[in-house]
Each structure stands twice: as C-alpha cells, then as structure tokens.
Structure 1
Amino acid sequence: MLRHAAHSRKQYATRAAVLAALLGSIAPARAQQTPPATAPPPPATDTRHPPEEEHVKVLTGLVVTGGMPRDTAADLGRPAEVLSDERLDENRAASLGDTVASVPGVQSSNFGPAAGRPIIRGLDGPRVLILNDGLASQDVSTLSQDHAPAVEPFLADRIEVLKGPATLLYGGGAIGGAVNVVDGRIPEVAVDNGLSGRAETRFLAAAQGGNTSMVRVDGGSDLFALHADAVFRHARDYATPRDRQANSFIDTRAGSLGGALLGDWGFVGLSAARFGNIYGNPGEPDVHLRMRQDHYELKGALRDVWGAGNGLRFAAGHSGYEHTEFEGDTPGTVFRKNANEARLEASFGNATHWQGVVGVQASASRFIAIGEEAFVPETRTRAQGVFGVVRRSPGNVQLDLGARIDHLQSRPVGGAARSFHPLSLSIAGAWKFAPRWTLAANFDHAERAPVEEELFSDGPHVATLAYEIGNAHLRKETARQLELELQYQSPRMQARLTAYSTRIRGFIHLAETGAFWHWDDADRLLPIRRWTQADADFRGFEGEAIFHLTTNASGDWDLRVFGDGVRASFDSGGNVPRIAPSRLGAQLRWENLGWRAALGAIRSRRQNHVAPNETPTAGHTLVDAHAARHFDTGNVSWEVFIDASNLTNQDARVHTSFLKDVVLLPGRSLAFGVRVFF
C-alpha cells in the first residue's frame, strides 16, 4: 500500500512537471499591451444583428466562458453552443436537460418534467459537468436519474454548452462536455443607467396546468452593483395523449441576492442563493422528492495586471444540499452533500504571440445517504487540479493547446480509499481556407476517474428498479476523440457540419449479472447489476444551417435546419444502452415591426440499436409554435407571447429515460404570458 501511494505521488508529480514545462515553453517572456487576436468566425450565427444588442436572440456557435477571459481564449477552436434571449425564452423548461435539448448533439435523460440532465453526444451522468457561472452545481444528480440538478433555467441569462473534453478549465472528467448556466448573480460590470431588470409570468394550459413567475433586478453605480432574483413554479400532473401522467407535478421556489464592488481595476463580489424543489416521481406513483440547496459564492477579478486583457480571476463557493424521498407522507431516504470549491486563473499573452490561461482548482465534498435506498456509503472526496489552455492565431490559422492534470481521492466510511490522477490533453486547429469557409480539426485525450456510485454502491436502487453493486477496483476511463468540422458563413447563410469519433477504453457502465434480488417491500425481484468496464466506440455527426430567406416589407424570414445522430457499441459486441436516437429538425421564423413567430418540427427516429434487456422506442415528430408581440412604453419594454408544443398530440417517449416504457411526454400544451424588460 505504501509503495503504491509513493508511486502514485511520483506519477502525479511527473505529470505535473510535464504540464508545467509544456505551458512554460510556450508562454511569452513578457506580455505586451496588444489587442486580442481575431478568431475564425463562429458558425450558425445570425449576423444581421450584433450579438450584444438588447433583446436580440441568436444561437451562436463557438463560445466558452464561465471564468475564462473572453479576450484570450474565447472559444479555443472547440465546438460549443449558447442559448440566449429569444432562443432561450422559447426553450425554457423546468429541467435543464429539456431546456437545452434543441441544441444539436444534446438530449435529455428525462425522469419526468422536473428531473432531466443533459446528454451530450451519447454521454451522460458524471461525464457531463453542470456548472453555475463556472463552478460545479455540487448536487447529487449524477447519482440517479430521478435526482434533479440544482439549477434554475428560468433565472439564466444564457446557457452555454461545451462539447467534448474542451472543458479542461473545469474538470478533465467531463468527457462528454459541460453545460454552464450563466445567471449573473455576482455583477461584474456597472449596470446601465443604474437600474435594469426583467420579469415574466406564464400560465400553462391544455395538457399542462399551472404557472411560472420570475423576476430579476440589478442596480447600482459605477462603484457598486446589487442583484436580486426569484422564481416561483407550480405545475400540476400533466396529461398525455392517452391519460393523465400521475405524480408528474412540480413546485419550485428559488432566489438569490448578490453584490459587488466595481472599478477599472476589476470587481469583487458575494452572493447567496437558495434552490428549493418539490416534485413527483412518475415512475413511483406514491413517491415524491423535496430538495433544497443553499449556495454561497465569492468571485472577483483583477484586470490588466500585466498588460491589456491579462489579469487574475478567482472564485470560491460553498454548497449545502439535501433532499428527502417521501413515500406518501412518510420520509424515506435522505441524501446530503456539503461541498467547497475554489479556483484561480491567470490570463496572459498578446495578439502576435501566444494567448492563454493557466490556473488551479480544488474541491472537497462529503456525501451521505440515510434510509432504505442508501445504496452508496458515506464518502468524502477531495480533488485538486492544474490546467492551462493557450492559443496562437497566425493569419488565417488558429492553433489551440490545452492540458489538465488532477488528483482525486474518494474515501468511503469503513472502506479503503481510492486515488486517481487523470490527465487530459487537447490540440485543436482551425484554417480559414477561403473567405467564407473554415475547416477545424480537434484531437483530445481525456481521462475520467470513477465516482462514488460506480465504486462503492451496494443496495437496491428503486429509481432504476435494480440492485446495484459497485466495483472498488475500477480504473480510469480513457477517451480519445477525433473531430472534423466544416463551417460556412455568408450574409445569406451560416452552416456547419461536424463528424466525430470517440473511443473510450474502460467505459464504465452497469452490466446485467443474470441474478436477481428479492425486494421485500414490493414483493418483487430486482435484477442485480454490477458496475463494470469495457471498451466502447461512440461515433456520430451534427449539422446545423440558418438560411436568411428574404428581407422585405413582409418582414425577415429565416429557416433553421439541424440534425444529429450517434451510434455507440462495445468492442466486444452489443450496443451501449440508452443511446439517444438520431433527429432531424426544422424551424421557420418570421419577424416584422415588433411581431415574431416560429413554426418548427423535430423528428426523432425509431431507436432499434438497443442493449440486452432494453426495448426499442418508436419514433415520433413533435411540432412546436411560438408567437410574440414586442412593444415599448417609455423606458420599459413589454412582450406578450404564446408557445405551443406537441401540436399534433403525438405519443412520444424518451429513449434515454429509465421510465420510457411507462411514461409519455405531455400531449398538446400551451403556455402564454407576458415579459417585461426595464
């Protein structure tokens, strides 16, 4: 044991030295005050509107923020998406997964309307990191599909989706990618005119009933800024095309207060937030969950410390999380997690040399479960990481390099600790070979350490109706991804097409053992599943195009089309379970004199590529529509809107959900209300 620990420390030190040498060799000797380089243009962006224009809604291509200084590494040549403004308003849902599910390559795990994590390129769970303004959400949503992430999409200014292991800034274990919810709880710049805000009330009708209301207010001066927000949601059990879906209700209360001191030197601020959620589990008609998380955060930046665009950013957060699963009115299993996280970043460089960011990150958490479904023991986890990303943009070529090394240790109560030292590397290039064409290529090596439930679980997991057994001898997952992307941009059209292949050595998954365990409470047999590893291959494509059809007296007419698909199989034979089906979607949009409308449809194909003991899922087409009227009264802007979903009232099931055989998506639904901006 001592020899093994010494070897691990030596291995970690060696990798850290290699990382330091790599970054040190390419960092410039002295930063110069030169404007940042211009990266190749992002794809699929409506260039008729400036990206910062008030209330203009665009779906952009290459965005990486959440702590990364935008002027030195705004996109790192990596594919990403951002939902903001009108696009976000039209897609907001109670769960984060459903909110971002219209992004190519992204779908939702869907355990009812309240619990849905994003799935990126077929990868889910701990392989997809959920961030709140650049810090991990620190909930227990990776433990089970019925655990909702502790984030509120209705309070987001924008939601950023990072695909692939480009998330080296936040954690090398996010092999699938990351979703960053940016809500601006800590102001970073002065508020225009000293006061701004927005509010919304929407009512649900037809298959759904209830309402959601939110408000956000920012105020201050050139020296300080204050922020407050709140959201209230009540949604009753929804109706499907066949019947009412029992136990699908949601009640949410969330809000935050924040403030910051501002100046030409930078900013420093604090925030306090609470997220509370009560929701039913449609898979168990008598079970509901009550969740609460308190989160406190300190964040700041020092600007232009050693040159224009170069400085320091830091953030620290503490989260206290608890949720209780009730059977009727009787409390059942309680899940608790306390976590601390801190990160420090330094940006450097100039336009004629290398630009980049180096940083350190550390976290510590304690997880405990009490009750009949406490299938994971109390576990303490500590992690430390060192990371760096750099760029050089000579002429029409852009080169990005990234590296990260982490040390993680998970220590269960009454068991032996496991330590891991994952290393992640990334190289990306983009070549603008013609005025309207860009070719990008990316290669990534990413390693992920197994998490608590994969290592130490041992007990019945009622949400998945299985008895799960962990494997304390699991090794790291190692993913190697190759990706090619072709981009086109002109005044009439923006498009991109991406193909990728991800080979994962030691893919961790739940495998059937063929044995059963008798669940006395329900008098039924549960299949015994064991966490195991096998090599797997994920390969797929994503495409998106926006056509600006015409601009005349009748208004602006745009057509957006997109598609995605992924196949995942084990090298030894057979399919990886619960892989999302391929999709094809289109939306026609119109805007004129304050009016806008959209009509779209998404076709999900039948999923026949299933694993043993997994059933196929029929295809379906969901038709949606949106309409809004925008008008101004003095310094206040108003928007009256109506949104419709599943207009043809189709039976629709989510193949990635454990509940797909017993739970349907809502039938024909309407939402209408008013938004105000000031």
Structure 2
Amino acid sequence: MTQPMPRFAPAPLSVALLACLAAPAWAQDARHAEPKDLDAVVVRATPLPQTAEDLARPVEVLTGQRLDEARASSLGETVARLPGTQSSYFGPGVGRPIIRGFDGARVQVLNDGLASGDVSTVSVDHAVSIEPFLANQIEVLKGPATLLYGSGAIGGAVNVVDGRIPEAPTTEPLEGRAELRAGSVADERTGMVRLDGTNAAGNLVFHFDALHRETGDYDIPGYAEHQHADGDEDHDEDHDDHHDEEQVYGTLPGSALRTDAGALGVSWVGERGFLGVGYSLFNTRYGVPGHAHEAHGHDEDDHEDEDEHGHEEPAEDGVHIVMDQRRTELRGGLDQLGGFETLRVKLAHNEYTHTEYEGEEIGTVFDNDSIEGRLELVHQPLAGWDGAFGLQFSRRDFSAVGEEAFVPDSKSRDTGIFWIGERSFGALDLELGARYDQARIDPDFASATAPDRDFDTTSLSAAGRWHLGEEVHLSFGLDRAQRAPTAEELYSDGLHVATRSWEFGDAQLDPETANRAELGLHWHHGPLRLGAAIYHVRYADFIYLADTGVVDDDAPARVWNQADARFTGGELDLQWTFLENHTGAWDLRAFGDIVRGRLDGDGTREVSFSVPHGDHTHDYTSEIALSGNLPRIAPARLGGELRWQSASGNWRGGLGAVRYASQDDVAEYEEETAGYTLVHANLAWHRDTPGGNAWEVFVDGGNLLDREARPHTSFLKELAPLPGRNVSAGLRLFF
C-alpha cells in the first residue's frame, strides 16, 4: 500500500504572521515584562495558588525572557538546562523531558493540568504533541507528582501553560506577540503569532495562536555513525581518513522537521467565574535518523530531494513520521461556592493519529482516542488546614496496525481521587497529601498470556519548609508513590523498529512502589541565591527494559522485567548578581546535577521468549541479572552562564557552557558514552515604541564550538549525534 506524503502549506499561517507584524498599535504598554524573580511566579500545576518560593516541593519555572531564550523545537530540549532536567533524543522532532534520571511513563507531560494525549510514552521515536513556542510558562515538578497527577508522574511532571482558554479579561482590547526566526544548522524557518482580546463589555475573551516551522536535515560536526577508532572516544579529525567513504558525514539524513500548530479559544468571564471552550491542532512531520545512512554519501551539498522552499524532503527509502492531533477542551471555574473557595473543572478530548512511513510505504499507524477530566475543589480552612479535594479520570482507546505494531490494541481506564493540604506551625510550613487510583487495561483478544489487568495504587506525601530566618530555609520531602504498569510493559511482543530491537512484555508485572526522601537548602542573601538538594529513592518492583544478550537478525532482544532499584542524586544552583552599575547588571549562574541508578536485587532471573520468523519461531532462554547499573541513566553535568542587562534595559546577553560528563556506569550490554561540552550564547536588543508596543531583535547560538555530542539517554547515540554549530536570529513583536 502506498500513499503520497502529505504536504503542509504554510500560506495561511504566513499570512496571519504578516498581518500581525503589520498591525496597528492597539495596546498602551508593552507586554513583555520580565518577572524579577522566577520564584515569585504562581505555579498552576497545583490547585492551591502558590509561588515557586512558597512550595515545599522542588519546582523550576521558565517564563518571560528566560523562556524566550530557551525555546526549542522539542519540550525536552527547552527545559534541558534546568537543574535535574535533561532530554531524551530521537532527532530534532523528538525530545521528552528526563527528570532526575526518570523518563517515559514515569514523567507526565501536561497541558495546563491535563495530559497531552499523545503516545510519546509508547515508543522513544514518538513526539510530544505540545509546542514550546506557544507556551506562556513551563513548570517542572521534580520528585513524585503522583499525588496530583497519578501514577504516570511518579518521576515528576512538566506542565505547559499556554492560556488557550482565557480565564480573565485582557488588559487591553487586543494584545499579543509574534516571532519570526531563522537558524543556520538546518536552514530553520519558524513563525508564530498569538492574539488575546476582550469585547467592550469585558465579559467575552478570545485567544488565537498559530505556528509554522520547517527545517532541512541538520549539519553535524563529523560522521553520523560513532567511530570507535583505536578506542579513542574524542573522535579527533586525525582519524577521518580511516573512515569508510560510504559513511554519512557533515549532514544527518532523516532529520528534517515540519510542524504546524494552532488554537482558538473563547470564554465568558463573570464576577465569580468563567466558562470557556477551545480547539487546537498539532501536526508535525519529521524524519527518523539512523534508518537510511547507507543510502547517502557524505557530500554536504547533495540535496536531490528538496521542496519548493529549498528544504530537504525525506529520502524515498528513509523513515519519517506524520503525526496529527486534534484537541477539544472545556474549562470552567466558580468562586465562593458554599463551603469551597474555588471550583475548577477541566475536560479534554483528543483524536490522535501517528503514521510511520518507510519511503512512501505506510509502515505502522497508531491511533489514540482519549478523554480526560479533572475537578478541583479548594475548601475553606478545616482545622487550620488550607486544602483541596480532587477527582481525575481518563479513558484511552489505543490501536496500532502495521509492521511496528509490537503493542496490541487496548483500552485503558483510570480514576483517581486526592486531597492536598497545607498549614503553618510557626517557622514550619507543612504540606500533606494522599491519593488513591484504580486502573484497568483491557487488551483486544485477551488471553491467558495477555489477560485483562486491574491495579489499585496509593500515594502518600509529606513535605515541609523550615524557615531558619528571612534569608535561609531548609526543606524536606517524604513520599510513598506507586505506578501501575503500562500496556507496552505488559503486552509488547515483536520487533520494535524504532529501536531496532525485539521487545517482549510481561503480563504478570505488579505495580512498582517508590519511597523517596529529600533534603534541600535555599539561601537568599542580597544579590546571592543558593539552592541545593540531595535525594534518595528506593523502588520495590522497579519496571525496566532489560537486555538479554540475545541478538536475532541483527536486532537485540529485550524484555520488560522487575527488580528492586535505588536512585541517589543531588543538585546545586547558584545565582549571583556580582556587579550592578552604569554598565548594567551582571549575573553569574552555575549549576550542577548528578544521579546514579542501580538495580538492588540479588542473583538472576530466567526468561523465555520466542522471536517470530514467518511461519516459524526462534525460541530462547536467557538469564537477566537483578543487580548492576540501569541503562540510559543521564550523566552528571556542570554548567555556568554569564548574563548581562544594560542599565537602560534595552540590551541583554549571555554566554554559557554545560559540561556533560562521560557515562561509564552502564548496564550490561550497554555502550559507554564520552563526555562533551556545549557552549551557547544569546544577544537581544529590546525597544519600546512611543505607542506602547515593543519589538526585539535577537541572535542565539548553540553548540558554538561545533563539538560532537552524543547523549547517553538516546537510543540513537551511536547513529545520530546532536546538531553542530547553530546560529539563529529573528524578530519578536509585542503589542
């Protein structure tokens, strides 16, 4: 079966962008106020209105200028320079947040409190259906967030706030922002616009946003495939003449990307509440690097397949993905409702289709139809406790048809109830919470080897802040969280094309239980801010994908297994305004993080599995060690950044570097990864106009030393390095 590759015409979005850039000055003041203190920003991921400074739980917030400077094509890359947070990597279109070594089904990605509704946890080549360029604020909750968002957040959560359904009138009748940018490493072209407005009566508020991005295959500083020449992990150019001429060099085929996103929302806002509805789409097409290297030479100027805009099309024999999501949301809020201070209701329905092409042939089609609802009731003080009750439910119908349908069709149902409360005892602020969930997974064609499964999970949490003075406080956290297995962990059975491996689930897996203890310090003395944390997590029945050592048809066989495990880590973040005079304000920031993940069991476990080959199978038995290092654990990092803002406030800039340590604490059959250093910089000129609008010209640079970088967290690290030197520039307009 063949089907032509869909093409996305950027004309409508381009017209909208140009119209916005030519718009008259409706507003009376600029819309780009940078929060002086990110800790003072209200965090929306929790039902109780608290700032990052007030929360007893560890949280990081990106907004304003810091978010503008961090925005990238994937959510994982956008938050990757926050302490304790890194990114997975499967090409520029796919990057999921990794929090303190946890990723995939342990990190929940949220769209203002509701799940994104994609299938990014099913496979590492599946993208997150949230566009960072359209976000107002991004919140990273470190440590278990199961209390608020269920078992999928046992490792943390990332909440993207985009304001697509307005909850309050705008300051002016019409306000918004737009951005145009171009990048060098992949010939990037990105444009976005957002508009928010209110009618004359002040009770009808609307929102509109749109984005178009397209890039070609990106440049790399050397060979695509990792060269293990003479055991030298630095890959010096001295060895280049020893490489096979057929190896891909200079440009990575299969790394092109095109994305369209947009939304329209409208709300009625009254004195005591609001009711709004929104509709959004996310449509992306991206290549999967590493699947067509043998078909390309190493001539960087050989671009045989280009569209009319000069961007490379995926090669006919390459693997590429077309993903489409349509999302409908209903949100409402009511204040002063009997014995409750506020009521918030959120409901989202997602229609998601993900098609994987091998050339023009359809390989696999994933469909995910889901609905999720959430109700939050903030009650008036009870026995001195401020708190909130919550109810959450979700329904998911998942299907996969084609070559990569290694997970059977299934229906998943989850329902959870929770309570969270806080109270001050003098210098001690205490937060307690509890949650109970019921989950059910029904695979199609249930059988003795793939039965229906029901799970009950319970999470308990205690966190506190002890104020030793106005400038310093200690924090602590104690959690007991549980996670139910996912359908792919239970029922996988076949070839996983994206990772080039055979993958086998275990339908008898039990819920995993995590017990966490954390101790933190926060010190703020004049221009100096210091934050530090150490944590330890012990898992009972930790679920992980174990390599068996068996290789069949050049593909390793892996099985989902359970064993006890432990994670230990720490973070440090230092910010110092060391000079403030007529030259402006000069800030120095340094951060570091480290995590170690190990299995904590004894002995080995015998596993048996069968690899299908047409009308027959190959049967295997293997021993899996229940101790040792866990695979793909994020390496330690050390980063620094010098920031400057002129006394007038018109200029700002920064120069920084992040050193990723080598990772040699690897699992059995896993390759070690060399360390690397990434240097970045930014410069912007901001100008307020007499009419109250503002515009900004910016230049950003990434990997300025053009180093080869292979993330240890990536399944593609041996085949696809990160992009080389990139310089992007553009214009932002605020009105």
Please indicate, yes or no, whether the TM-score normalized by the shorter chain is above 0.5: yes
Deviations 1:190-242 (A, max 9, x none): 1001211000000011x221211100000014211000000000011110111
Who is 1:210 aligned against? 188
Q: Which residue of the other structure, out of 692, 705, 730, is the alignment partner of 1:648?
A: 705
Look up the SS of the partner of 1:635 in the other structure: coil
Who is 2:618 aligned against? none
Distance 1:498 1:67, change over 3 A: closer
Q: Given the alignment of the two structures, is residue 430 of structure 1 paired with residue 487 of structure 2, yes or no?
A: no
Contact residue 62 and residue 75 of structure 1 kept, 8 A: no
Q: Which residue of the other structure, out of 49, 52, 57, is the alignment partner of 1:78?
A: 57
Who is 1:472 aligned against? 507
Q: Given the alignment of the two structures, is residue 502 of structure 1 paired with residue 558 of structure 2, yes or no?
A: no
Look up the SS of the partner of 2:336 in the other structure: coil
Determine the C-alpha separation between the residues in 2 that align with 1:525 and 1:101: 33
Distance 1:167 1:639, change over 3 A: farther
Contact residue 35 and residue 41 of structure 2 kept, 8 A: no
Look up the SS of the partner of 2:159 in the other structure: strand
Q: Which residue of the other structure, out of 202, 207, 212, is the alignment partner of 1:232?
A: 212
Who is 1:631 aligned against? 687
Deviation at 1:284, TM superposition (A): 1.4
Determine the C-alpha separation between the residues in 2 that align with 1:667 and 1:173: 34
Deviations 1:551-587 (A, max 9, x none): 1100011111110000011113310000011001111
Who is 2:676 aligned against? 620
Look up the SS of the partner of 2:441 in the other structure: strand
Q: Which residue of the other structure, out of 297, 320, 325, is the alignment partner of 2:351?
A: 320
Deviations 1:292-343 (A, max 9, x none): 0000000011012247x81100001100000100001111100000001111
Determine the C-alpha separation between the residues in 2 that align with 1:88 and 1:250: 22
Who is 2:397 aligned against? 366
Who is 2:635 aligned against? 581
Deviation at 1:529, TM superposition (A): 1.1
Look up the SS of the partner of 1:192 in the other structure: coil
Look up the SS of the partner of 2:69 in the other structure: helix
Deviations 1:607-649 (A, max 9, x none): 1100111111111111100000000111211000000011111
Who is 2:151 aligned against? 172
Deviations 1:67-98 (A, max 9, x none): 62415999541000011111111111111111
Deviation at 1:167, TM superposition (A): 4.3
Give the aligned CA root-mean-square deviation in angstroms.
1.7
Who is 1:400 aligned against? 431
Look up the SS of the partner of 1:310 in the other structure: strand
Q: Which residue of the other structure, out of 262, 285, 290, is the alignment partner of 2:269?
A: 262
Distance 1:623 1:516, change over 3 A: closer
Q: Which residue of the other structure, out of 540, 546, 570, is the alignment partner of 1:541?
A: 570
Contact residue 57 and residue 85 of structure 1 kept, 8 A: no
The 5 Å alignment of 1:161-310 reads 161-205=140-184, 207-221=185-199, 222-242=202-222, 243-285=250-292, 286-306=318-338, 310=341
The aligned amino acid for 2:215 is A
Deviation at 1:283, TM superposition (A): 2.2
Determine the C-alpha separation between the residues in 2 that align with 1:310 and 1:165: 27
Who is 2:231 aligned against? none
Contact residue 564 and residue 582 of structure 1 kept, 8 A: yes
Look up the SS of the partner of 1:87 in the other structure: helix
Look up the SS of the partner of 1:455 in the other structure: helix
Look up the SS of the partner of 1:303 in the other structure: strand
The aligned amino acid for 1:478 is T
Determine the C-alpha separation between the residues in 1 that align with 2:44 and 2:288: 34
Determine the C-alpha separation between the residues in 2 that align with 1:367 and 1:61: 40
The aligned amino acid for 1:552 is N
Distance 1:493 1:167, change over 3 A: farther
Look up the SS of the partner of 2:172 in the other structure: helix
Determine the C-alpha separation between the residues in 2 that align with 1:551 and 1:352: 47
Q: Which has the larger radius of gyration?
A: 2
Determine the C-alpha separation between the residues in 1 that align with 2:543 and 2:36: 39
Determine the C-alpha separation between the residues in 2 that align with 1:226 and 1:588: 39
Determine the C-alpha separation between the residues in 2 that align with 1:609 and 1:648: 27
Who is 2:624 aligned against? none
Determine the C-alpha separation between the residues in 1 that align with 2:584 and 2:477: 39
Look up the SS of the partner of 2:67 in the other structure: helix
Contact residue 72 and residue 355 of structure 1 kept, 8 A: no
Who is 2:613 aligned against? none
Deviation at 1:542, TM superposition (A): 0.7
Who is 1:560 aligned against? 589
Deviation at 1:117, TM superposition (A): 0.6
Deviation at 1:350, TM superposition (A): 4.3
Task: Flag structure 2 segments of 5+ consecutive residues without an equivalent.
Answer: 1-30, 223-249, 293-317, 602-626
Deviation at 1:481, TM superposition (A): 0.4
The aligned amino acid for 1:565 is I
Who is 1:550 aligned against? 579
Who is 1:107 aligned against? 86
The aligned amino acid for 1:197 is G
Q: Which residue of the other structure, out of 582, 602, 610, is the alignment partner of 2:658?
A: 602
Contact residue 63 and residue 82 of structure 1 kept, 8 A: no
Contact residue 208 and residue 670 of structure 1 kept, 8 A: no
Determine the C-alpha separation between the residues in 1 that align with 2:36 and 2:197: 23
Look up the SS of the partner of 1:311 in the other structure: strand
Who is 1:97 aligned against? 76
The aligned amino acid for 2:255 is S
Distance 1:254 1:53, change over 3 A: closer
Determine the C-alpha separation between the residues in 2 that align with 1:164 and 1:614: 27
| Higher mean C-alpha deviation, range 460-469 or range 75-84 | 75-84
Determine the C-alpha separation between the residues in 1 that align with 2:346 and 2:542: 32
Look up the SS of the partner of 2:220 in the other structure: coil
The aligned amino acid for 2:63 is S
Distance 1:403 1:443, change over 3 A: same
Determine the C-alpha separation between the residues in 1 that align with 2:36 and 2:726: 23
Contact residue 187 and residue 259 of structure 1 kept, 8 A: yes
Determine the C-alpha separation between the residues in 1 that align with 2:536 and 2:344: 34
Deviations 1:515-574 (A, max 9, x none): 343xxxxxx332221111011110000110110111110001111111000001111331
Determine the C-alpha separation between the residues in 2 that align with 1:639 and 1:138: 34
Determine the C-alpha separation between the residues in 2 that align with 1:338 and 1:67: 26
Deviation at 1:393, TM superposition (A): 1.3
Deviations 1:99-128 (A, max 9, x none): 110110010111111101101010111100
Contact residue 647 and residue 669 of structure 1 kept, 8 A: yes
TM-score normalised over the length of structure 1:
0.89
Q: Given the alignment of the two structures, is residue 384 of structure 1 paired with residue 415 of structure 2, yes or no?
A: yes
Determine the C-alpha separation between the residues in 2 that align with 1:72 and 1:203: 35
| Number of corresponding residues | 619
Q: Which residue of the other structure, out of 322, 335, 342, is the alignment partner of 2:373?
A: 342
Aligned-pair identity in percent equals: 49
Task: Flag structure 1 segments of 5+ consecutive residues without an equivalent.
Answer: 1-51, 518-523
The aligned amino acid for 2:403 is E
Distance 1:254 1:625, change over 3 A: same
Who is 2:105 aligned against? 126
Deviation at 1:435, TM superposition (A): 2.2
Determine the C-alpha separation between the residues in 2 that align with 1:611 and 1:669: 33
